């Protein structure tokens, strides 16, 4: 770190005074000199390369970086590195070196408590702390102990089950064999086989993109737009380029090929080209020897903008005369999906009841615990390789080859372990910059998003405005459904066309309805782009349908289950897109759910209708999981030995 | 005062890519030590599909899940399996693995039948053991069988599998199409407790039933349902990405509120396991279907508890309280959150 001081005694740009740290880490003495602004997480991950504990938010909110300092659980993203001087630190990397897994880790493994695995190191640390402090912690006390740790995948249930199991084995209430794996006797299909990646996830051994290091690796940082809609007049990056340690500065001018990407419509450049269309859009990328130098370089770039009129409301954006966000999209309409079946107007005119209501759903962040990260490098044969948690390496390779102007076999995409995706990692929003930087510098380049960067730059769930009109007969039969949905797609298309399709196809719900009208319109605005998100528009449209049916049940004085039972699709039903189905288990699902829940029929909000209160609350009788078999067999006989009966079809 | 209520909602979802040809391919090799290499172009995003693929391959090849080596996730080394999403992993890749393993295992049976002088059909394998049906002497480990075939017969057992799901595009005017081959249906019941002094909602229980098709690993199916329900709970009650003039005011997890262990109900999963009749394995998927009913079941339960209809997500304590106050003031005029006409 001697090069951080210039001859006049001042510190070079992007360099910091250093500090010496002496500590015990996982039982070993360490002595290192690091920049004095380092946090404990930086020291552990970047200096010691102990990458088991993850950084999820950098703000002490998610708990993934939890580790022990002198036996006390801390959030290492909030602690200055100086705090561990002379202390003993325990990370997930070495919880129980001798046996491979601690009791708690074995219980996590047994219970299937890890999914993407990114939050699990922090969860194991928090659970360890909880049981160390209170070996007989109750389920509620365990929940409190884990209350500072966020998991986006599991819903926490299996994590809490695992902590209870560990507690009971530790206390002797359950035998150690309760941690053993179930063995298959007749078939591996249908078994609760333990996840094969689980030992690596509960011990922090598995590597995500941000955990990867390569020799001679550079660090990328990106300057992003502060404006929602602006013309780029001039970019001045000379000062940044001259900072020692800056290896390359990239703008759209450095893209050699056809510079557009997108899941359905390729409308987004790798780096903003002449115009920025949302706050957070990438404008300039820098690769430098250290993260600090890359940050200093980004701060030294000056971009002159000329602000343009903005659109934030999709209804306004569709009006004639509204500013055009993309030249090709008239009235800023990105996608309009229509479903037309029967004669909705005539059916509504003849219906006994017509119920109208408007529903609004919000913009939603995926909040995968792993922020975006990637590592790009050149191989000996000139192939450029990008490792990132991409949910679509096949399509990304196609687009990247075109952007880079290379043959497709000179572009290689490797999907690194994904720390949660939910659709949010289907968009190629940073892999292009990384590949360009690796080609230009001929060195490996890594880019790790901060949580703030991830939230502002990545896709969101489309917010929907849904105008609903439903016509019903007195007996509860739905005769017509009309849904008019307008959705904010944000500045670029990403998955908007697909989301509009799915919201429309599935929107009217699993019901047999003779007359259906659906409009699903996705609109460009200057908001953060909306994209793919678990259930892809169907979450929004089906939400409206299911709320609306409850409202209709109230109007008709019916039990909401009974209203659904009348209308649900049966075997051989015709869908809203006029597809003929064969087996339909919709009614069976409804009956199974209400049986498990112990549902007591009646009109919603009974006390409001002066009816006796429900007596089905807190029904505990069926809190085991169920398997309910059926009557069909797979069309192609299973190619297994005769004694392998199909154990999963009880 | 705390009031309880229950709500119900149904849902459905199409499996794999929408209104487009979906495809997935795999390569299979029966390898030394009685292990099996499976190469396919996608890895998991946490749902557990790699474990599921190993279970399928183990069953089809007569070995154990831990004997499988999965080469995945690399466009330069493995065949295309398209993307990780659309509830397509178990359905598309699971079926492709089954098809590829059946080809490889078929060749293995022919080769071993020839070696033992018996019919191919009489050769059986499970969990690393190979035997001839009805014979007490023709029996060996898979490891030895691979050795014998390689050293004595010069045979390496390989196979490949392709699974295609043919879907048609939507007619631009009417939407007519076969967007998917297989659908998953579902229903959920939610029980909530609403504090009518604060507007706070606690979800106490969710019962979720889904016809997931043939189940490969019930623990992982439950994991998907539990995760979906809690994500749906967050969407229903607390999560909102807010922008003011294009600038987010929820830039981190201090402002963007997510469900924690303290917010969760017990989730009871009910798996209807009737196999899908249209595919070799009979599997479907559950990654996305399970989130479709949750928010509505919770919102309907809030109405059942306190008689206010929350038509805007999320139903935060502030919004529930606002609706309760509006209801109490009994000014059910145009300002009511409910715009409805009944004739």
- The CATH number linked to B249 is 3.30.365.10
Low-confidence ranges of chain A (pLDDT < 70): 1-7, 9, 97-98, 620-626, 630-650
**Does the residue B275 lie in any domain?**
yes
Q: CB–CB of A585/B159 below 8 Å? A: no
**Does the residue B212 lie in any domain?**
yes
- Contact list in B for residue A554 (CB cut-off 8 A) is 303
- Token pair recorded at residue B55: 């279970």
Region B285-306: mean pLDDT is 98
A189: nearest CA partner in chain B? B216
**Does the residue B338 lie in any domain?**
no
Predicted local confidence at residue A56, as pLDDT:
98
Domain's final residue, options B142, B165, B188: B165
Nearest-neighbour CA in chain B from A96: distance (Å): 23
**What is the C-alpha to C-alpha distance for residues B301 and B86, in angstroms, rounded to an integer?**
29
**What is the C-alpha to C-alpha distance for residues A326 and A334, in angstroms, rounded to an integer?**
9
Listing DSSP states for A219-269 in one string gives EEEEEE-SSSSEEEEEEE-HHHHTSTTEEEEE-GGG--S---B-SSS--B-
Please give the model's pTM, rounded to 2 decimal places.
Answer: 0.96
Q: Are residues B192 and B98 in the same domain?
A: no
- Contact list in A for residue B202 (CB cut-off 8 A) is none
Q: Are residues B106 and B190 in the same domain?
A: no
**What is the C-alpha to C-alpha distance for residues A68 and A202, in angstroms, rounded to an integer?**
16
Nearest-neighbour CA in chain B from A438: distance (Å): 18
**Does the residue B210 lie in any domain?**
yes
Residue found under tokens 């699971």: B94
Nearest-neighbour CA in chain A from B153: distance (Å): 24
Residue B292 pLDDT > 50, yes or no? yes
Predicted local confidence at residue A639, as pLDDT:
36
Identify whether B226 is a catalytic site residue. no
* Contact check, Cβ <8 Å, B226/A633: no
Q: Which of A155, A385, A521, A642 to mutate to test the interface with B (most CBs of B within 10 A)?
A: A155
* Contact check, Cβ <8 Å, A629/B273: yes
What CA–CA distances, in Å, run from A349 to A354, A471, A472, A514? 9, 8, 11, 14
Q: Which of B4, B11, B132 to mutate to test the interface with A (most CBs of A within 10 A)?
A: B11
Region B114-118: mean pLDDT is 98
* Contact check, Cβ <8 Å, B85/A426: yes
B316: nearest CA partner in chain A? A362
Question: Residues 6 or more apart from B181 whose CB is under 8 A from it?
Answer: B15, B16, B165, B166, B167, B278, B279
Report the domain count for chain B. 2
Q: Are residues B10 and B72 in the same domain?
A: no
Q: Are residues B110 and B217 in the same domain?
A: no
* Contact check, Cβ <8 Å, A635/B80: no
Provide the ipTM.
Answer: 0.96
Nearest-neighbour CA in chain B from A451: distance (Å): 7
Nearest-neighbour CA in chain B from A2: distance (Å): 36
Q: CB–CB of A531/A426 below 8 Å? A: yes
Predicted local confidence at residue A464, as pLDDT:
98
Q: Which domain holds residue B120?
A: 22-165
**Does the residue B270 lie in any domain?**
yes
Given B60, B191, B222, B288, which residue is catalytic?
B288
Q: Are residues B36 and B139 in the same domain?
A: yes
Nearest-neighbour CA in chain B from A274: distance (Å): 19
**What is the C-alpha to C-alpha distance for residues A342 and A513, in angstroms, rounded to an integer?**
9
Region B8-32: mean pLDDT is 97
Of the candidates A296, A207, A320, the one whose C-alpha atom is nearest the C-alpha of residue A243 is: A296
* Contact check, Cβ <8 Å, A625/B270: yes
* Contact check, Cβ <8 Å, B277/A634: yes
DSSP state of B283: B
Predicted local confidence at residue A2, as pLDDT:
40
* Contact check, Cβ <8 Å, A158/B226: yes
A538: nearest CA partner in chain B? B292
**What is the C-alpha to C-alpha distance for residues A291 and A58, in angstroms, rounded to an integer?**
15
B240: nearest CB among A362, A549, A555: A362
* Contact check, Cβ <8 Å, A636/B280: yes
**Does the residue B84 lie in any domain?**
yes
- Contact list in A for residue B272 (CB cut-off 8 A) is 585, 588-589, 592, 628, 630
Of the candidates B214, B220, B190, the one whose C-alpha atom is nearest the C-alpha of residue B204 is: B190
Q: Are residues B239 and B127 in the same domain?
A: no
- Token pair recorded at residue A73: 């659980």
* Contact check, Cβ <8 Å, B176/A577: yes
- Contact list in B for residue A153 (CB cut-off 8 A) is 46, 223, 227
Of the candidates B213, B205, B209, the one whose C-alpha atom is nearest the C-alpha of residue B188 is: B209
Q: Are residues B136 and B29 in the same domain?
A: yes
Domain's final residue, options B165, B190, B216: B165
Predicted local confidence at residue A95, as pLDDT:
83
Q: Are residues B40 and B9 in the same domain?
A: no
B56: nearest CA partner in chain A? A189
- Contact list in A for residue B277 (CB cut-off 8 A) is 582-583, 632-635
- Contact list in A for residue B296 (CB cut-off 8 A) is 542-543, 545-547, 550
**Does the residue B170 lie in any domain?**
no
**What is the C-alpha to C-alpha distance for residues B163 and A267, in angstroms, rounded to an integer?**
31
- Contact list in B for residue A197 (CB cut-off 8 A) is 44, 50-51
Q: Are residues B245 and B204 in the same domain?
A: yes
**What is the C-alpha to C-alpha distance for residues A59 and B254, in angstroms, rounded to an integer?**
8
**Does the residue B337 lie in any domain?**
no
**What is the C-alpha to C-alpha distance for residues A250 and A183, in angstroms, rounded to an integer?**
55
Predicted local confidence at residue B163, as pLDDT:
97
Read off the pLDDT of residues A329-341 as tens digits, 9 standing for 90 and up: 999 999 999 999 9
What CA–CA distances, in Å, run from B256 to A339, A531, B152? 35, 18, 65
Q: Are residues B119 and B192 in the same domain?
A: no
Q: Are residues B223 and B292 in the same domain?
A: yes
Question: Residues 6 or more apart from A29 whose CB is under 8 A from it?
Answer: A22, A23
Nearest-neighbour CA in chain B from A474: distance (Å): 11
B217: nearest CB among A191, A278, A417: A191
A193: nearest CA partner in chain B? B217
Predicted local confidence at residue A4, as pLDDT:
58
Predicted local confidence at residue A100, as pLDDT:
83
Cα radius of gyration rounded to whole Å, chain B: 26
B313: nearest CB among A227, A361, A650: A361
Of the candidates A519, A401, A526, the one whose C-alpha atom is nearest the C-alpha of residue A464 is: A519
Q: Are residues B51 and B190 in the same domain?
A: no
Domain's final residue, options B121, B141, B165: B165
In Å, the largest CA–CA distance within chain B is 90
- Contact list in B for residue A158 (CB cut-off 8 A) is 219, 222-223, 226
Read off the pLDDT of residues A596-622 as tens digits, 9 standing for 90 and up: 999 999 999 998 888 888 989 977 655
């Amino acid at each position: 770190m001697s090069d951080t001081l210039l001859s006049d005694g001042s510190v070079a740009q992007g360099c910091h005074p250093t500090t010496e740290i002496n500590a015990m880490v996982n039982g070993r003495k360490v002595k290192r000199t690091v920049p004095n602004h380092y946090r404990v997480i930086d020291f552990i991950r970047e200096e010691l390369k102990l990458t088991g504990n993850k950084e999820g938010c950098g703000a002490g909110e998610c708990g993934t970086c939890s580790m022990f300092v002198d036996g006390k659980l801390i959030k290492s993203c909030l602690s200055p590195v100086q705090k561990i001087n002379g202390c003993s630190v325990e990370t997930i990397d070495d919880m129980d070196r001798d046996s491979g897994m601690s009791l708690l880790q074995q219980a996590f493994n047994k219970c299937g408590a890890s999914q993407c695995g990114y939050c699990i190191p922090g969860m194991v640390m928090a659970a360890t702390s909880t049981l160390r402090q209170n070996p007989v912690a109750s389920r509620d006390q365990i929940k409190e102990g884990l209350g500072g740790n966020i998991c986006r995948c599991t819903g926490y249930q299996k994590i809490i089950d695992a902590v209870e199991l560990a507690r009971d084995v530790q206390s002797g209430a359950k035998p150690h064999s309760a941690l053993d794996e179930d063995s298959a006797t007749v078939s591996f299909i249908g078994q609760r086989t333990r996840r094969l990646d689980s030992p690596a996830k509960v011990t922090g051994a598995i590597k995500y993109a941000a955990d990867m290091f390569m020799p001679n690796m550079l660090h990328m940082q990106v300057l992003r737009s502060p404006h929602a809609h602006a013309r780029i007049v001039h970019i001045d990056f000379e000062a940044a380029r001259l900072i020692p340690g800056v290896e390359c500065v990239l703008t759209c001018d450095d893209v050699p090929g056809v510079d557009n990407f997108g899941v359905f419509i390729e409308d987004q450049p790798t780096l903003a080209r002449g115009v920025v269309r949302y706050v957070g859009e990438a404008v300039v990328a820098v690769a430098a020897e250290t993260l600090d130098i890359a940050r200093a370089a980004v701060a030294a770039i000056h971009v002159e903008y000329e602000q343009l009129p903005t659109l934030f409301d999709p209804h306004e954006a569709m009006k004639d005369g509204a500013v055009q966000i993309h030249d090709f999209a008239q009235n800023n309409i990105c996608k309009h999906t229509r479903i037309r079946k029967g004669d909705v107007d005539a059916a509504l005119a003849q219906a006994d009841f017509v119920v109208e209501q408007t529903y609004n759903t919000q913009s939603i962040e995926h909040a995968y615990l792993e922020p975006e990260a990637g590592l790009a490098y050149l191989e000996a044969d000139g192939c450029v390789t990008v490792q990132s948690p991409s949910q679509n390496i096949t399509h990304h390779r196609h687009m990247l080859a075109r952007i880079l102007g290379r043959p497709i076999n000179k572009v290689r995409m490797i999907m690194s372990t994904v720390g949660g995706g939910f659709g949010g990692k289907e968009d190629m929003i940073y892999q292009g910059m990384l590949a360009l930087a690796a080609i230009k510098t001929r060195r490996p380049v890594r880019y790790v998003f901060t949580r703030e960067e991830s939230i502002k730059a990545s896709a969101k769930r489309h917010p929907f405005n849904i105008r609903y009109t439903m016509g019903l007969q007195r007996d509860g039969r739905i005769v017509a459904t009309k849904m008019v949905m307008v959705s904010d797609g944000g500045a670029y298309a990403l998955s908007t066309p697909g989301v509009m399709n799915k919201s429309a196809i599935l929107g009217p719900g699993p019901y047999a309805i003779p007359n259906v009208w659906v409009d699903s319109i996705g609109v460009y605005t200057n908001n953060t782009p909306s994209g793919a998100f678990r259930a892809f528009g169907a979450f929004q449209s089906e939400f409206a349908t299911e709320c609306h049916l409850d409202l209709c049940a109230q109007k008709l004085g019916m039990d909401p289950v009974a209203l659904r039972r009348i209308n649900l699709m049966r075997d051989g039903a015709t869908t809203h897109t006029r597809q003929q189905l064969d087996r339909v288990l919709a009614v069976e699902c409804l009956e199974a759910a209400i049986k498990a829940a112990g549902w007591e029929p009646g009109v919603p909000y009974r006390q409001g209708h002066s009816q006796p209160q429900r007596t089905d609350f807190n029904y505990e009788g069926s809190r085991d999981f169920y398997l309910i078999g059926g009557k069909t067999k797979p069309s192609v006989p299973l190619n297994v030995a005769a004694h392998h009966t199909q154990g999963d079809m009880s | 005062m705390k009031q309880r209520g229950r709500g119900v909602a149904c849902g459905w979802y199409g499996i794999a890519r929408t209104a487009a040809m979906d495809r997935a391919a795999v390569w299979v090799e029966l390898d030394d030590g009685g292990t099996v290499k499976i190469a396919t172009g996608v890895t998991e995003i946490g749902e557990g599909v790699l474990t599921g693929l190993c279970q399928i391959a183990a069953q089809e090849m007569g070995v154990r899940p831990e004997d499988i080596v999965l080469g995945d996730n690399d466009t330069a080394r493995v065949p295309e399996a398209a993307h990780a999403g659309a509830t397509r992993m178990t359905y598309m890749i699971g079926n492709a693995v089954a098809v590829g393993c059946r080809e490889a295992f078929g060749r293995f049976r022919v080769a071993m039948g020839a070696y033992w002088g018996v019919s191919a059909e009489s050769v059986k394998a499970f969990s690393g053991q190979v035997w001839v049906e009805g014979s007490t002497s023709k029996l060996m480990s898979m490891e030895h069988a691979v050795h014998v075939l390689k050293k004595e017969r010069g045979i390496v057992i390989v196979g490949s599998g392709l699974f295609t799901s043919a879907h048609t595009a939507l007619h631009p005017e009417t939407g007519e199409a076969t967007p998917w081959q297989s659908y998953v249906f579902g229903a959920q019941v939610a029980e909530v407790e609403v504090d009518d002094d604060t507007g706070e909602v606690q979800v106490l229980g969710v019962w979720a039933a889904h016809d997931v098709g043939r189940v490969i690993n019930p623990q992982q199916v439950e994991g998907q349902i539990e995760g979906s329900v809690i994500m749906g709970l967050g969407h229903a009650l607390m999560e909102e990405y807010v922008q003011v003039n294009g600038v987010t005011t929820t830039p981190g997890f201090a402002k963007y509120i997510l469900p924690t262990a303290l917010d969760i109900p017990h989730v009871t999963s009910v798996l209807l396991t009737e196999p899908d009749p249209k595919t070799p394995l009979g599997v479907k998927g559950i990654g996305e279907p399970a989130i479709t009913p949750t928010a509505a079941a919770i919102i309907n339960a809030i109405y059942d508890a306190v008689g206010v209809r929350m038509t805007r997500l999320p139903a935060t304590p502030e919004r529930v309280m606002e609706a309760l106050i509006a209801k109490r003031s009994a000014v059910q005029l145009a300002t009511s959150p409910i715009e409805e006409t009944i004739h």
